[in-house]
Amino acid sequence: MIETLLLVLVCIIIGGLLSSLAVHLMPVGGAPAAMATATGIATGCVMLMTGAAVTGLFTASTVASFWVTKPNVILVALSGAVGSMLMIGFTMFVGNLIYIFGAGIVPCSGRVAVDPITKDSQTEYKTPRTDGHGVPTASFVSGILGGFSGGFGGALIYVVLVSDSYAHFSVATAGIVAMGIFIANAIIAAYNIGGTIEGFHDPKFKARIRTGLTCSLIVSVLCGVIIVIAMLTGTLAGGVM
Amino acid sequence: MEPIVMLFAWMLIIAFLAFIACMFEDLESDIGSQSNPNSQIQLAPEMGYIHRYFNKAISGEGLSYALSCTISGTIAMLILLQLESVGPTAALLAIPVGAAVGSLVHMVRSSVCHVGREAAHKRFEQPIYLDVLYGHLLPIATHNFLAVICITAIAYIQSNLGILSGVAGASNPFPLPLLCLIWGLTVGAIGSSTGDIHYGTERAFQDKPFGEGRRVVYHGQICRYGACGTRTSKDVAAFCAKYGGPATGLAFGLIVLFENWRTVIGMTLGGVAGPGWNPSLAAAWGIGIGIVIAVVLVILARTIEKWARNKYGPFVGE
């Protein structure tokens, strides 16, 4: 019993940390990106990452139901990771289609002079008095990695909560709890970022990731302890929904 | 017909509904001026730009649509439970009624939000135009209804896919309202991330030079006049319906299509509903196909980026 509780706690902490890492990896442009005044996806961190994570959660729930009992934790978590990755990938791709063909704008970074992946120069393509625009390749790859990380974290929490071998919550309860832990971590990460971020190549990423992960660790431990208490007392066993 | 063929057919219906849902979600957010470009509508009176745009930002689009869709899903499930004796045809009543209630609640929130925000702009001499208020509520409610009814239908199909297609285990285990919450959040997040660009970058600043990012000094200086007379948010929808809306629908449609497609292909390769059913193999195939799609997406994104750099060239001007 102790081993199971510890394993659930550790998985929730890992899931929470991955969720926080995911939000920091996202190329989030927020409201300015909708006016092509900042590089990244034109919405807020929490909104975007939650949308991606729940898409992964949907696939993870379908894949978890392949097994009558005891779903394979790694395969379910990977299915969720790929689901989130595809959601972010298509969103960034279509966003770029609108920037390029709808507004005639070249995607470029506002924070680095050279794209670290393609080695393309960025400065001369940037509109003056903007912080870049569109989703350049480095940000795209960062977003894909962020989607993978966040989807894996969210789906890992879900599968551990729903599995007969671990918490044994009902599917709906496990889904809601996983979403809640994910959103708590995403909001903390959004506060840490404080505005826009372009991805792993953004100087902001290196400067703030440690603080973000430390805060996420605290939040995830708190969430994990609550889940462990719920398991010990049987409050959510079998589910409340 | 073979159950697996039926499964693919339902998957295509779901993808089509997703396309329609996200397109109307984006157009509704354009009519109401919700989400990210709302910052410009909000800023305009402070810059001396008195306008006739509808000004609502109930919350982020994701949360707003999650609420509408969850209300719809909950009402639909209650009706389905009440009419259990009627059978599956009860869905023909339950889904539209649920969506209608969700849209009405959305319309109420829109009206309160617009009036509240415009009232706060009194200090900048921005009037509350009653014709703008009345004239936009119906398009907001109808566009929202179409988005919500499609999401509720998707959730209904997915939670009953096993029965509808005849493939055991194809149904999603989540209950109808939770599926509505999931897809509501996703449809709002995508509408906010993609469609808003066409409105915020192009339509709201149509009198500024084409092909450049909107400089910070332009912020708040929105385009207030159309081809004939003063522009309202309804004119925004007419413009964005030609590109931003369908592109946003395409994004969500492709996500739902490929998410379901790779899962179904994985199930098929894992020996669906047969004696040789291997869940690990099915999941592994789904993951593998998904990774291949992601790699293709990165290559496509790089290709269009290179194309744009070569075609448009470096920034010219001051």
- What would the pLDDT profile of A37-88 be if each residue is shown by its tens digit? 999 999 988 889 999 999 999 999 999 998 888 899 999 999 999 999 999 9
Distances (CA, A) of A47 to A127, A133, B133: 27, 20, 28
Angstrom CA distances, B314 to A62, A107, A120, B185, stand at 47, 11, 12, 37
Two structure tokens written together for A27? 């190329």
Token pair, residue B132, equals 């703008």
Q: Are B62 and A33 in contact (CB < 8 Å)?
A: no
Phi, psi of B212 (to 5 degrees): -135, 155
The tokens describing A142, both together, are 């960062």
pLDDT score, position B213: 92
Q: Where are the domains of chain A?
A: 2-233
| Separation in Å, CA of B90 to nearest CA in chain A | 23
Q: How far is it, in rounded angstroms, from Cα A92 to Cα B315?
A: 22
- Determine the distance in angstroms separating the CA of A221 from the nearest CA of chain B, rounded to an integer: 25
Which residues in chain A touch residue B36, judged by CB atoms under 8 angstroms apart?
30-31, 33-35, 42-43
Question: What size, in residues, is chain B?
Answer: 318
Contact between B294 and A144 under an 8 Å Cβ cutoff? The reply is yes
Chain-chain contact of B36 with A78 (C-beta, under 8 angstroms): no
Confidence (pLDDT) at B167: 84
Please name the residues between 50 and 69 in chain B that touch chain A, using a CB distance below 8 Å.
60-63
Task: Take residue B198 and report the two structure tokens written for it.
Answer: 């066409």
Average pLDDT by stretches of 10, chain A with 241 residues: 91 96 94 94 90 93 89 95 96 96 95 94 94 95 96 96 88 92 94 92 94 96 94 69 45
- Put simply, whether B302 touches A (Cβ < 8 Å) is yes
Q: What is the mean pLDDT of chain B?
A: 93
- In this predicted structure, the answer to whether residue B292 has a pLDDT above a threshold of 60 is yes
For A95, the closest chain B residue by CA position comes to B194
The answer to whether B250 faces chain A, any CB pair under 8 Å, is yes
User: CA of A65: how far to CAs of A75, A170, B280, in Å?
Assistant: 12, 12, 12
- What is the pLDDT averaged over residues B21-28? 96
Of A51, A71, A103, the CB nearest to B197: A103
**What is the structure's pLDDT at B2?**
82
**Under an 8 A CB cutoff, do B200 and A175 touch?**
no
A28 forms beta bridges with: A41, A197
User: A102, B195: Cβ pair inside 8 Å?
Assistant: no
pLDDT for position A241: 45
Which pLDDT score is estimated for A15? 96
The minimum CA-CA distance between B123 and chain A, rounded to whole Å, is 24
Residues of B within 8 A of A37 (CB-CB) are: 213-216, 219
Judged by CB atoms closer than 8 Å, whether chains meet at A86 and B293 is answered as yes
How confident is the model at residue B35, as a pLDDT?
81
Contact at CB, B172 and A67, closer than 8 angstroms: no
Token couple for B40: 């410009």
Residues 132-191 of B with CB under 8 A from A: 169, 171-175, 178-179, 181-183, 185-186, 188-190
In angstroms, the CA A230 to CA B125 distance is 55
Question: Which residues on chain A are in Cβ contact (under 8 Å) with B308?
Answer: 100, 105-107
**Nearest Cβ partner for A50 among B171, B179, B189:** B189
Range list of H helices, chain A? 2-25, 30-34, 45-64, 73-97, 137-162, 171-193, 203-233
Which residues, 6+ apart, have CB-to-CB distance to A112 below 8 Å? A122, A138, A198, A201, A202
CB contact under 8 A, B192 and A128: no
A42 and B197 in contact by Cβ < 8 A?
yes
- Tokens at residue A111, please? 């924070």
Compute the CA torsion angle B54, B74, A51, B21 (nearest 10 deg). -60
Show residues of chain B in contact with A89, CB under 8 Å.
293-294, 297-298
Q: Do B213 and A37 touch (CB under 8 A)?
A: yes
From the list A202, A61, A158, the residue with the least C-alpha distance to B174 is A61
User: Is a pLDDT exceeding 80 seen at residue B179?
Assistant: yes
Output the pLDDT for position A118.
95
ipTM: 0.95
pLDDT confidence band for B305 (50 / 70 / 90): very high
Domain spans in chain B, listed from the N-terminal domain onward: 3-247
Residue-level pLDDT at A238? 55
CA distance A173 to A162: 8
User: 């007392």: which residue's tokens?
Assistant: A233
Q: What's the gap in Å between the CA of A21 and the closest CA on chain B?
A: 19
Q: What is the pTM of this model?
A: 0.95
List, for residues B219-262, the tens digit of each pLDDT value: 999 999 988 899 999 999 999 999 999 999 999 999 999 999 99
| Residues whose CB is less than 8 angstroms from the CB of residue A39 and which lie 6 or more positions away in sequence, other chains included | A27, A29, A33, A107, A108, A109, A110, A111, A131, A132, A133, A134, A135, A136, A139, A196, A198
Cβ–Cβ of A103/B211 closer than 8 Å? yes
Question: Mapping DSSP to helix (H, G, I), strand (E, B) and coil, where does residue A46 land?
Answer: helix
Task: Answer yes or no: do B279 and A66 touch at CB < 8 A.
Answer: yes
Interface probe, candidates B201, B218, B219, B243, chain A, greatest A C-beta count within 10 A? B201
Burial class from Cβ neighbours inside 10 Å (0-12, 13-18, 19+) for residue B134 reads exposed
Looking at the DSSP bridge assignments, the partners of residue A109 are: A132
Q: Give chain A positions within 8 Å (CB) of B276.
A: none
Q: Quick one: how far is CA B176 from the chain centroid?
A: 18
**pLDDT above 70: residue B198:** yes
